[in-house]
Amino acid sequence: MLTATMIGNKIAEARKKLNISQAQLALRLFISAQAVGKWERGESMPDIITLNHLAEILGVDLNYFSEALEPEATEITPDVFSVKQSAELTSGKQKNKISWDMSRGNWVDADFSGLKNLHEKFSSSNMQRCKFIGSDLSGLLLKNNNVDNCDFSGSDFSSSHIQNSNLANNLFKDCSLKETEFSESYISCCDFTGADITGAAFKSGGFQNNPMANAVWNRTSFHAMQLVNIVFGGTMEDCYFENCAFKKVTFHHSTLINNFFKNKSLKGIRFIDCQADRMTYEFLKNGKADLTGIMLLTPKGVNE
């Protein structure tokens, strides 16, 4: 196994062949020249994402550093295997059981589209501009994650758990979020267009500025959530709002059936061309909601 000093020598050797200074290399990596100096002196090592960028800048193959990244016989370093290899792992084509974990990582501009069986392998990670398009993320655990500008379009998040995480500017278009639980997480500027959010639970966090056109709401619950600048549409049945704070929340062309609102004040909600059954209507009335814009449904579904 190569040491940090030997990796540093490899970096220095490739840099000098290009006739660029430590400062010039640092500038391309958006880091300090001192950091490059520490690598080359063997005082520290770049992480795997930075090694990928280094390989591109220095004009070398990642195998140039691979001797330092050789895994033990029973595990593989996930950062350096291809999407094809990862697909082979998850489809059971590898004879030996391989254990790999991408938690506590810094993932930037990585493409994990089509992966399966990730489960707890991305917890405590910083993920920016990554792609998980069409991935099977069912049963995924994200805990203490920062997820920004990632694309999860068409992925299956069913029965996943998102805990103590910050989700911003992500695409969840046409995702299945069935029975997914979001707890103590803040979700902002994420696109849930066409997502199926049946049975999902949002607990003790924030949900704001999220487009949700044609999303499916059924048995969805919100507990102690801050809902800000949100538009709900379509049919909402058996949904649950308890102790939530509403600010600039709109129900637009919504049909509300058997929905439960337990809040001291619902004054932050506006209704436009909505219909509601008697029970939902009475809950809203009890919370002093402005019922303008709601037409009451009879048990047979005929407007009164």
CATH number at residue 16: 1.10.260.40
Could you tell me if 191 and 262 lie in one domain? yes
* CA distance from start to end of the chain: 78
- pLDDT for residue 89 is more than 60: no
Read off the pTM. Answer: 0.66
Could you tell me if 12 and 42 lie in one domain? yes
Q: Tell me, what's the pLDDT at 77?
A: 36
- pLDDT for residue 71 is more than 70: no
Q: What's the whole-number mean pLDDT along residues 229-255?
A: 95
**Average of per-residue pLDDT values in the chain:** 82
> Binning pLDDT at 50, 70 and 90, where does residue 105 land?
confident
Question: pLDDT, tens digit, for every residue of 9-59?
Answer: 888 988 898 888 888 888 777 788 888 999 899 888 887 667 777 877 888
- pLDDT for residue 144 is more than 80: yes
125 assigned to some structural domain: yes
Could you tell me if 101 and 34 lie in one domain? no
- pLDDT for residue 278 is more than 60: yes
Could you tell me if 56 and 178 lie in one domain? no
Per cent of the chain over pLDDT 70 is: 82
Q: Tell me, what's the pLDDT at 49?
A: 67
Output the domain CATH number for residue 145. Answer: 2.160.20
Could you tell me if 134 and 61 lie in one domain? no
303 assigned to some structural domain: no
Could you tell me if 170 and 286 lie in one domain? yes
75 assigned to some structural domain: no
Q: Tell me, what's the pLDDT at 69?
A: 43
83 assigned to some structural domain: no
79 assigned to some structural domain: no
240 assigned to some structural domain: yes
Contacts within 8 Å (CB) and 24+ apart, 63-69: 64/10, 64/14, 65/7, 65/10, 67/1, 67/2, 68/1, 68/2, 68/3, 68/6, 68/7
Could you tell me if 22 and 106 lie in one domain? no
> Binning pLDDT at 50, 70 and 90, where does residue 172 land?
very high
Could you tell me if 55 and 99 lie in one domain? no
Residue 284: domain span: 90-296
Q: Tell me, what's the pLDDT at 133?
A: 92
> Binning pLDDT at 50, 70 and 90, where does residue 231 land?
very high
82 assigned to some structural domain: no
259 assigned to some structural domain: yes
Could you tell me if 44 and 94 lie in one domain? no
Could you tell me if 35 and 122 lie in one domain? no
Q: What's the whole-number mean pLDDT along residues 249-264?
A: 93
Could you tell me if 263 and 141 lie in one domain? yes
What's the structural domain count of the chain?
A: 2
Lowest mean pLDDT among 43-47, 135-139, 199-203, 273-277: 43-47
Could you tell me if 156 and 245 lie in one domain? yes
